[in-house]
Amino acid sequence: MTKQFAVVGNPIEHSRSPELHHAFAAKTGIDLHYQKILSPLDGFEQTVKQFFGQGGSGLNITVPFKEQAFALCDVLTERAKIAKAVNTLWMENGKLHGDNTDGQGLVVALQAQGWNLQDARILILGAGGATRGVIYPLAQAGVKQIVIANRTLARAEQLIADVQPFVADVQLKALDLNQLNGEFDIIVNATSASLSGDHLQLPQSLTFDAAYEMAYGKDSSFIAEAKARQIPYAEGFSMLVGQAIEAFAIWNGERPNLEDFI
């Protein structure tokens, strides 16, 4: 029987998840159908219940429902608990399970570039939900230091206080976005600045060997800076594929190769 999957969000029409999951299905020979569901802003729980009530196998959750999905789950993975957000749902023994595969999506995207994460020093710009979700998977991948730089310094400090107990071996540090400095292996832009077309200033006192922009399909000043410095860079499509592969693996027990899809 064809397994049913979907991604739930609002808005949802731009989502590329159906094409990715259908491509993975074609590669692995799994019989599935994956659709987009536009949930009313005040009807998320109802949308989830209806989907699983009709025998659906798994849901991906996107903006703005990841925190609500987290709150709905009976069982959560460790990384979802730390992220406080869920992007992957499934039912098991009558219980709603939730995971967050976004962070691992970033890890595999960075590794696919050939960028070494073992003992790496990483600078992340931004201290919102996107950053929260990647700390634990980066720690698991062996990074040594993560500096979180944010426009609102207190938010970076709070995030670090929240997650440090879960990543005891990683050195975490907060920095003011206006006082960027230091030497890093990889810089990751997790701010929403590029989505709104805002400019991020990266001073010469800040050096890095590789740059990853979490957003994709946008002309960001962050990527322009990486180009000007002639260092390797990549954009968020590979992270999107990475998180989709992780969700696919949870649901279907098979893990397609990232390199085949980016």
Kindly give the residue spans of alpha helices, DSSP state H, lying in the chain. Answer: 17-28, 44-53, 66-72, 78-83, 102-112, 129-140, 153-163, 221-228, 237-252
Binding segment for ligand ATR among 11-19, 47-55, 148-156, 164-172 (CB under 6 A)? 148-156
Residue 192 binds ligand ATR (CB under 6 A): yes
Of 233, 221, 202, residue with least CA distance to 115? 233
- Contact assessment for residue 21 and residue 35, using Cβ atoms and an 8 Å cutoff: no
Number of residues near ligand ATR (by CB under 6 A) = 15
Catalytic residue status for 66? yes
Which residue of the set 36, 66, 144, 218 is catalytic? Answer: 66
Q: What is the CA radius of gyration of the chain?
A: 18
Residues 109 to 138: which contact ligand ATR by CB under 6 A? 126-130
Of 11 and 55, CB closest to ligand ATR:
11
Rounded distance between C-alpha atoms, residue 242 and residue 137, angstroms: 12
Residue 48 binds ligand ATR (CB under 6 A): no
Residue 150 binds ligand ATR (CB under 6 A): yes
H/E run at residue 123? strand 121-125
Residue 155 binds ligand ATR (CB under 6 A): yes
Give the residues lining the site for ligand ATR (CB under 6 A). Answer: 126-130, 150-152, 155, 177, 190-193, 198
Positions marked catalytic: 66
